[in-house]
Amino acid sequence: MSVILLLLALSSTVIALDNGLALTPPMGWLSWERFRCNTDCEGDPENCISENLFRTMADLVVSEGYAAVGYEYINVDDCWLEKNRGPRGELVADRKRFPSGMRALADYVHAKGLKFGIYEDYGNYTCAGYPGILGSSRQDAEQFASWEVDYVKLDGCYSLPTDMDVGYPEFGRHLNRTGRPMVYSCSWPVYQIYAGISPNFTSIIEHCNLWRNFDDIQDSWASLESIIDYYGNNQDYIIPNAGPGHFNDADMLGNFGLSYEQSKTQMALWAILAQPLLMSVDLRTIRPEYKAILQNKKIIAVDQDPLGIQGRRIYKHKGIEIWSRPITPIYQTYYSYAVAFVNRRTDGTPSDVAVTLRELGLQSPTGYRVEDLYEDVDYGVLSPNTKIKVKVNPSGVVILRADVQPERFSKRPLNPFYYRYTKK
User: Which amino acids are annotated catalytic?
Assistant: 155, 216
| String of DSSP letters for 311-380 | -EEEEEETTEEEEEEEEEEEETTEEEEEEEEEE---SSS-EEEEEETGGGT---TT-EEEEETTTTEEEE
Is the preceding peptide bond at 131 cis, omega within 30 degrees of 0? no
| String of DSSP letters for 230-264 | HHHHTHHHHGGG-BTTBEEE---B--SSS-HHHHH
Complete edge-to-edge strand list for the sheet that includes strand 368-372: 312-317, 320-331, 334-343, 397-404, 368-372, 377-382
Helix (H, G, I), strand (E, B) or coil at 105: helix
Helix (H, G, I), strand (E, B) or coil at 83: coil
Helix (H, G, I), strand (E, B) or coil at 202: helix
Nearest to residue 298, comparing CAs of 383, 402, 416? 402
Q: For 88, what's the count of Cα atoms within 13 Å in the CB-facing half-sphere? A: 5
First and final CA of the chain: distance in angstroms?
A: 23
Q: Report CA-CA distances (Å) from 267 to 15, 107, 263, 274.
A: 29, 30, 6, 11
Q: For 151, what's the count of Cα atoms within 13 Å in the CB-facing half-sphere? A: 27
Going 179 to 28 to 262 to 336, the CA torsion angle's sign is positive
Nearest to residue 321, comparing CAs of 263, 268, 362, 387? 268
